[in-house]
Amino acid sequence: MITALKRLLVGSPMSTAQAKHERLAKIPALAIFASDLMSSVAYAPEEILLVLVLGGVAALQRGPYIGLAIAVLAATVATSYWQTIHAYPSGGGAYVVASDNLGAVPGLVAGAALLVDYILTVSVSTASGVAAITSAFPELYPHRVAICVSCVVLIMAANLRGIRETGRIFAVPTYWFVACLWLLMAGGFYRLATGAVPPTPPAVPVEEPLTIFLILRAFSGGCAALTGTEAVANGVQFFRPPESRNAGITLIWMATILATSVIGVTYLANFYRIVPRAEETVMSLLGTEIFGRGWIYYMIQAATAVILLLAVNTSFAGFPMLASIMAKDRFLPRQFANLGDRLVFSNGIVICATISCLLLVVFQGDTHALIPLYAIGVFSAFTLSQAGMVCHWWRERGAGWHVRAAVNLFGALVTAVVVGVITVTKFVHGAWIVVIVIPTLVSMFLAVRRHYESLRGQLTVQGFSPPKLGRHPVVVLVGGLHRGVVIALTYAKAISPNVTAITVDLDPTATSRLQRQWQEWFPEVPLIVLDSPYRSVLQPVLHYVDQMEKQRDGDYMTIILPEFLPAKWWQHLLHNQTALLLKTALLFRRGKVAISIPYHLNQ
């Protein structure tokens, strides 16, 4: 039943040979990797205005300048990552670049920052998408958390179906949003060109003076627009050959759409005197001002909600790929490196969705509460990546390396300044959580690596002597005499002449009957009856096995557990699980081998 449900939701398994056919062309790749960048146009300008409005209506006029600064920053970061893609075509982005050029710890800091960013992207994008829905339908606002979690689960299921199928699913909504965004800007600029009179701005109380610090806070909020830029560099191997060229072109398309959109939206928001409100998004206010509450408005809101919800797809592509690379380097559990039935890293997808849902519940689906946690991690990764690329060009010293190194150095300096600005301006608003989480994750990565190194040292066969087995004792646990016990005892006598049967006396009448039957069936095998004054099976058996430790011949003792297995899954609920409990307990006792001998029932 579980397998049938999995096939229905995820699809049939795909062979490893099909992996090369699952690569992405540029058009579907843009839908997968750029959805986060494109969707940020829906909330990054709003984050700018939400801070500027504290300084009154006059402060809102700084919005277009901040939007222009973010566009320049986007061009700088994209140019730097374009070089990274061609220098490291195997993928991995900031983690691989920083590890290769700056050392293991800087690489782990970059990896931790990106993993945190991917998870927060899912939470922020989903919360923002649901906010677009509740702006159009306010009666849904009390149910926003349940809607958020449901959306994450649905998109997780879509990603589990495979990378190429995900591209097909998300291509139409992504390009629909781009078309609606350009329609919004075209309508706004058309009215501006035809002499539309801007509305009178509403009265807004001045809560803070317009200072450099306030402007920097607004800038740091708008920098959330750049999250997702590194996704292409992490997933180069998802592209069709030539991978680097196709990934580079996709990155250029992404940066161009982002820069023009942020400039356009912030400029129009300033012209139409948009003042942000908690219960309605800036995109909704702008659409109402330009088109009114007609069908065009609702189409733009629908496209915005869909792209914000699907923007999490960037994380579902980037998080599992980065986690798999780190798992291969033994900094994460090796399960993250395993490909699932549909040739995607299923474990990474599920973990990313689970943690994101937890954040949405904790923060009650509030975009503005999650945003302060958002950008500091990704800009830390940007800085380490570009600094690593400077070292890379310095070491390689190929043709034109001076120019390449200068581009990456400029990118590193700019993003380092942004990290400082975000840390200072957003620290008390929640950024302190990320400042603590990233070092904690790095410590965890190093602990995982130490475990795997210790494991490899302890499992090597060099200098190892095989254990002494001898006439090792075999103990058969007997609850009563039935066919399963007869088969188990026959097996036990076949592997060792030193066989003992034990039973726990929970019912004196049943124990007496077993002893009489035993003399008829197995008189040559001693039956030991264990007392249990507290009616426990587990403790007397473990105590007896520990006592035999001193008497055994060899390094191992085998404990055989006869089991009868019902034919139907629900029938298991009608029986206790003593054998399972014993196997679990014996697993952690050195020198003990537990073997289950199943007897399958027909009905």
- Give pLDDT tens digits for 111-124: 998 898 888 888 87
Spatial CB neighbours of 141, under 8 Å, sequence gap ≥ 6 = 134, 279
Whether residue 449 is found in the same domain as residue 523: no
pLDDT band at 570; cut points 50, 70, 90: confident
- The CATH number given to whatever domain includes residue 585 is 3.40.50
Whether residue 540 is found in the same domain as residue 570: yes
Whether residue 407 is found in the same domain as residue 506: no
Whether residue 83 is found in the same domain as residue 188: yes
| Alpha carbons 503 and 489: distance in angstroms, whole number | 13
pLDDT band at 565; cut points 50, 70, 90: confident
Residues 292-321 as b or e (16 or more Cβ within 10 Å = b): eeeebbebbbbbbbbbbbbbbbbbbbbbbb
- Measuring CA to CA, how many Å separate 387 from each of 9, 335, 406? 43, 31, 11
Q: Which of 420 and 132 is assigned the larger pLDDT?
A: 420
Residue 603 has pLDDT above 60, yes or no: yes
- Give pLDDT tens digits for 138-195: 888 888 889 989 989 988 888 887 766 666 677 788 889 889 999 999 999 998 888 7
| Alpha carbons 167 and 288: distance in angstroms, whole number | 32
Whether residue 124 is found in the same domain as residue 170: yes
Question: Of the ranges 169-183, 294-308, 442-456, which is most confident?
Answer: 442-456
Question: Of the ranges 146-150, 198-202, 550-554, which is most confident?
Answer: 146-150
Domain final position from 392, 419, 453: 453
- Give pLDDT tens digits for 207-234: 778 888 888 888 877 887 887 787 787 7
Whether residue 423 is found in the same domain as residue 552: no
Residue 22 has pLDDT above 80, yes or no: no
Query: What pLDDT does residue 34 have?
Result: 74
- The CATH number given to whatever domain includes residue 105 is 1.20.1740.10
Across the range 563-582, mean pLDDT stands at 79
Q: Where are the alpha helices (DSSP H) in 160-242?
A: 163-193, 212-222, 231-234
- Of the chain, the percentage scoring pLDDT greater than 70 comes to 89
Query: What pLDDT does residue 15 have?
Result: 55
Q: Is residue 469 part of a domain?
A: no
Query: What pLDDT does residue 166 have?
Result: 65
Q: Is residue 465 part of a domain?
A: no
- Give pLDDT tens digits for 243-275: 888 988 989 998 898 899 999 999 999 888 888
Across the range 570-581, mean pLDDT stands at 77
Whether residue 380 is found in the same domain as residue 495: no
Q: Is residue 463 part of a domain?
A: no
Residue 531 has pLDDT above 60, yes or no: yes
Q: Which domain holds residue 514?
A: 474-600
- The region that residue 234 occupies, defined by phi over 0 for left and psi between -120 and 50 for alpha, beta otherwise, is alpha
Whether residue 425 is found in the same domain as residue 499: no
Whether residue 247 is found in the same domain as residue 324: yes
Residue 571 has pLDDT above 70, yes or no: yes
Q: Which of 151-160, 216-225, 564-573, 590-599 has the lowest mean pLDDT?
A: 564-573
Q: Is residue 35 part of a domain?
A: yes
Residue 57 has pLDDT above 60, yes or no: yes
Q: Is residue 462 part of a domain?
A: no
Residue 527 has pLDDT above 60, yes or no: yes
Task: Please give the tally of structural domains in the chain.
Answer: 2
Across the range 288-308, mean pLDDT stands at 87
**Which letter does DSSP use for residue 277 in this model?**
B
Q: Which of 193-207, 267-281, 497-511, 535-549 has the lowest mean pLDDT?
A: 193-207
Encoded tokens for 50: 């939400």
Q: Is residue 304 part of a domain?
A: yes
Please tell me whether residue 500 adopts helix, strand or coil conformation: strand
Whether residue 385 is found in the same domain as residue 491: no
Mean pLDDT of all residues belonging to the chain:
83
Q: Is residue 407 part of a domain?
A: yes
Q: Is residue 468 part of a domain?
A: no
Spatial CB neighbours of 567, under 8 Å, sequence gap ≥ 6 = 600, 601, 602, 603
pTM: 0.73
Whether residue 267 is found in the same domain as residue 339: yes
Whether residue 387 is found in the same domain as residue 503: no
Name the pairing type of β-strands 592-600 and 527-531: unpaired
